[in-house]
Amino acid sequence: MEYEIKSTGKFKYIEEGNGEPLVLLHGLFGALSNFRSLIEYFRHHNRVIVPMLPLLDMDILHTSVGGLAKYVHKFLEAKELTGIHLMGNSLGGHVGLVHTLKHPERIKSLILTGSSGLFENGMGDSYPKRGDYEYIRKKTELTFYDPAMATKELVDEVYSITNNRMKVIKIIALAKSAIRNNLGEELNQIKQPTLLIWGNNDTITPPFVAKEFNKLIPSSELYFIDKCGHAPMMEVPEEFNAILHKFLKKLNEPATVA
């Protein structure tokens, strides 16, 4: 299904469905396609909103996790959203964490999957010469447990980004910013209920990262999915959606008095 890209001021986004807002933040090489199954499922239960993050369009001084978190804050203000369920994958999770730490008042719950913020293996220590399609294909395959998930369309998308010199500079700036911006000492300040959904075979933010998030975020619960890599919402959408839906329903159940 194709979704209409809407705009409010300088912000472009997708918005489908009604109910409590579920805002989705994509990662460094992320795109709308990453969330297609999730949007299709949750638009029947929530107001699903996906801002188009200007990962490679900001000036180089603001190309950082902090710069993206400010952008998200301004977007949520422009949309006058409150009581938000904020979900992020990979770098998007990191941006969601920074935003929640700075502006907790808008956030009802936080959902992280393959999030950076503590530790991540990036594209590697060195970037290939532009034009190395095979290198990009292999790196894209590493995102998933099943290499077949790295379709030609997906590899072409990543390749076109890495084949642009300015975009590569910005990717490196964002990757370095994510490594520098370690949130280990701040995570205990997050008071929102937090759901962690992790691939057991994630090689970019391995399972020990999820366990550390679970230990450091007070009201967090962790679910591992077998035979799944760094993008569970793409690789195992049905299982991912079921875990997330159960979590959101539980938040709205009246508290029982013992």
pLDDT tens per residue across span 62-78: 899 999 999 999 999 99
Of the candidates 165, 113, 164, 159, the residue with the CA atom closest to the CA atom of residue 138: 159
Tell me if residue 44 falls in helix, strand or coil.
coil
Using CA atoms, how far residue 64 sits from 54, 84, 140, 166, in Å, is: 11, 23, 22, 15
Q: Between residues 243 and 252, which one has the greater pLDDT?
A: 243
Dihedral sign for Cα atoms in the order 91, 192, 199, 211: positive
Concatenated DSSP letters of 180-246: H---TTTGGG--S-EEEEEETT-SSS-HHHHHHHHHHSTTEEEEEESS--S-HHHHSHHHHHHHHHH
* pLDDT tens per residue across span 74-99: 999 999 999 999 999 999 999 999 99
pLDDT at position 258 is: 53
Query: In angstroms, rounded to a whole number, what is the distance separating the alpha carbons of residues 42 and 3?
Result: 14
